[in-house]
Amino acid sequence: MTLRLVLTILLLAAAPAALARDEAMRDIMAGHVNPGALGFWAAGNDPPDNETPAQAKLRWDEAAKGAKAMETWGQVLQKPPYTRTGRWNDDAQLMIDMARLGETPIRLKDGPKAFEIGGRLYDACNECHKLYVPRRGATIPRESPLNAP
C-alpha cells in the first residue's frame, strides 16, 4: 500500500460523517434541480440585450421545463432513499409549491411575477442548504445564484 493511500484511508476514517459529500444528492442538485432553477430564474430576470423572439421563446420554454424538473425532483427528494428527518420534506415541498406557482406567470410570460416567485423559490433552496449542507466552504459552485448576496 502506498503512503498516499494509507493517508487517504486515515483521513477518511477521521472525517466526521457529517462532512462526507452526498454524491447522489450532488448529482440530483447539479444535474436537475440547479439547471431547473436557473431556467426558472431566467424568466424573472431582465431579458438579455437584443433577445430575438426565438430566443425569448426558448427562455420561457426552459423556465417551464425548469419548473417541471423541480416538481419532479422535489418529489423524489421526499421519498426514500433521499428523504431525511426534520424540515427536509417541508423544504422540498416549498420548492415544489413555488415551482407550481410559477407555472402560470411563466405561461403568461409575466416576468415581474416570475421574479417575485423566484425569490421565494430561492428561500426554499437556502433553508434546506443551511440545515443540511455541511459547511465545507466550496460546496456550492461560485457561479451558482446561491452565492448571490
Residues at the interface with ligand HEC (CB under 6 A): 21-22, 25-26, 29-30, 33-34, 37, 70, 77, 88, 91-92, 95, 121, 124-125, 128-129, 132-133, 139-141, 144, 146
Q: Which is nearer to ligand HEC, 43 or 121 (CB)?
A: 121
The C-alpha atoms of residue 107 and residue 91 are separated, in whole angstroms, by 25
- Least distance (Å) from ligand HEC to the CB of residue 53? 28
- Least distance (Å) from ligand HEC to the CB of residue 50? 28
Rounded to an integer, what is the distance from CA 24 to the centroid of its chain? 14
Residue 148: count other Cβ atoms within 10 Å of its Cβ: 7
Q: Which is nearer to ligand HEC, 31 or 48 (CB)?
A: 31
- Least distance (Å) from ligand HEC to the CB of residue 122? 7
Cα three-residue angle 68-66-74, rounded to 5 degrees: 55
Q: Which is nearer to ligand HEC, 119 or 141 (CB)?
A: 141
Q: Which is nearer to ligand HEC, 33 or 111 (CB)?
A: 33
Q: Nearest CA to 42 among 28, 32, 56, 30?
A: 56
- Least distance (Å) from ligand HEC to the CB of residue 102? 11
Bond preceding residue 16 cis, omega within 30 of 0? no
Torsional sign, CA 3, 8, 13, 14: positive
